[in-house]
Structure 1
């Protein structure tokens, strides 16, 4: 414990004095484009008040992300139109801003009438190839029936 009391203040003092370099956070980048998506029902379980569903997911990304995505989606729909949730996992393989590799995404979405929530994160430590260490979040918008993405990401230096 005595060594800890001596080392910590020494390291803090060195950091404040600029003696120990602190790694800079990598700059966040944006990759934008469109994608095509196809879902196929795998299983459905209807019950009182809700329907559970499972779907296969296939995507083709265009733009700064030239890739294919494959995944599985679980859904819960209710008897109220416009009220549902989904979770999904997806592996994306291709090129991101010219860097070849893959990474995985985790989706969490819910809707209740006009209240929508969609969070899609890159799965930590899922990057491979030139995308090893990738982190970030994907945003999706639908304009005139066409799916658009904005992938905000960082890569280690």
Structure 2
């Protein structure tokens, strides 16, 4: 059975230096530090790589973050994988749980998350299943 969790979150992105030897690739690199509230009471830490396109409003990013806390009162952690693009201002984003990344009471979790940003405030909708 698929469950739905939702709520607000706060995110801090911190720019990082390029990995040694790949500076000429001109990739953006950031650390991710999030605090989820609502049905998911958790923190997450992760990393993001991004690249801009040659046309204004075009870019892409990938990210991995480990989420640790409680989801509808079940404790544990899981990993989210992000793939996002902006095609001349039109966004596309996919965020899914990495298979078999769940721990403790969240072992076996699967699902996908949507992020909404309205007036600078972030929120999530997380559709997930547990065995």
Q: TM-score, normalised by structure 1?
A: 0.77
Does 1 or 2 have the higher relative contact order (CA < 8 Å, sep 6+)? 2
Residue 14 of structure 2 corresponds to 40
- The structure 1 residue matched to 2:30, chosen from 52, 55, 78, is 55
Residue 53 of structure 2 corresponds to 78
Misfit runs of 4+, over 4 Å: none
1:112-144 deviation digits (Å, cap 9, x = unpaired): 223211000000000001000000000001111
1:89 aligns with 2:60: no
Give the number of aligned pairs. 127
Root mean square deviation, CA, Å: 1.2
> Per the alignment, in what secondary structure is the counterpart of residue 69 of structure 1?
strand
Segments of 5+ residues of structure 2 without an aligned counterpart are: none
Segments of 5+ residues of structure 1 without an aligned counterpart are: 1-26
Task: Pick the structure with greater CA Rg.
Answer: 1
Q: Which has the higher helix share?
A: 1
Q: TM-score, normalised by structure 2?
A: 0.92
